[in-house]
A and B are shown apart, each in its own frame.
Chain A
């Protein structure tokens, strides 16, 4: 079935470093991917929409220079948190619409980022 593979599942980094999170669609093509952020006991907050071959669309209040998104192919989108700070510590999740038989969003397993 349609799966979105997200890596890494957990990352700990020092303040000021950059972290890259990858999401790959397996068994289907994802021309669009959504990136979410989730704080403890809160719902998912959409950060940006990435589109294959074009610039990502960011939600209001999300710094595009801090959260770099690249959608290089029909199966891969990456989110890079640049110059990470402790306040960037959060759970990051991607999703991709499976527009075939299911026509629903398939979510990755999430990445827990901890910035020291």
Chain B
């Protein structure tokens, strides 16, 4: 069993839809949770960063962490074609110099 499980998709939605992306994990030591967006042949770009459980909102993006269920989510409201990318969840037991454990990444396509 992988430490972090993420459905690779692809996920195709119409413009304006609400997108839900999820990851599950097995290591209860994870405390830091991140979502990265990666366009084709580019480096990952940090979207959201959450410590421990709870919700965090930034514009059209909302990140949720449920440590009791070992489940994290990223919601994208009013999705746009420019949101078409691969979304990677990542987590670590602490910040700073610890290695990140990545999910497989979910490919999202938002069509006009």
Is B41 on the interface with A (CB-CB < 8 A)? Answer: yes
* Interface residue range, chain B: 20 to 34
Cβ of A110: which chain B residues have Cβ within 8 Å of it?
41-43
Let me know if A44 and B44 touch, CB within 8 A. yes
Let me know if B43 and A104 touch, CB within 8 A. no
| In the complex, chain A residues 65-90 whose Cβ is within 8 Å of any chain B Cβ | none
| In the complex, chain B residues 81-103 whose Cβ is within 8 Å of any chain A Cβ | 88, 90, 95-97, 99-100, 102-103
Chain B interface residues toward A at CB < 8 A: 8, 34, 36, 41-46, 49, 88, 90, 95-97, 99-100, 102-105, 107
- Chain B's closest residue to A57 (CB) is B99
Let me know if B104 and A105 touch, CB within 8 A. no
Q: Nearest Cβ distance between residue A8 and chain B, in whole angstroms?
A: 13
Let me know if A104 and B46 touch, CB within 8 A. yes
Cα A40 to Cα B36 in complex, Å, equals 17
Cα A49 to Cα B100 in complex, Å, equals 11
* Further pairs besides A43-B88, A44-B44: 9, Cβ < 8 Å: A42-B105, A43-B105, A44-B88, A93-B44, A97-B97, A105-B46, A105-B90, A107-B44, A108-B43
Let me know if A43 and B104 touch, CB within 8 A. yes
Let me know if B97 and A42 touch, CB within 8 A. no
Cα A43 to Cα B107 in complex, Å, equals 11
- Interchain residue pairs with CB less than 8 A apart (13): A31-B97, A32-B97, A34-B99, A43-B88, A43-B103, A46-B100, A102-B49, A105-B34, A105-B46, A105-B90, A106-B46, A107-B44, A108-B43
Is A15 on the interface with B (CB-CB < 8 A)? Answer: no
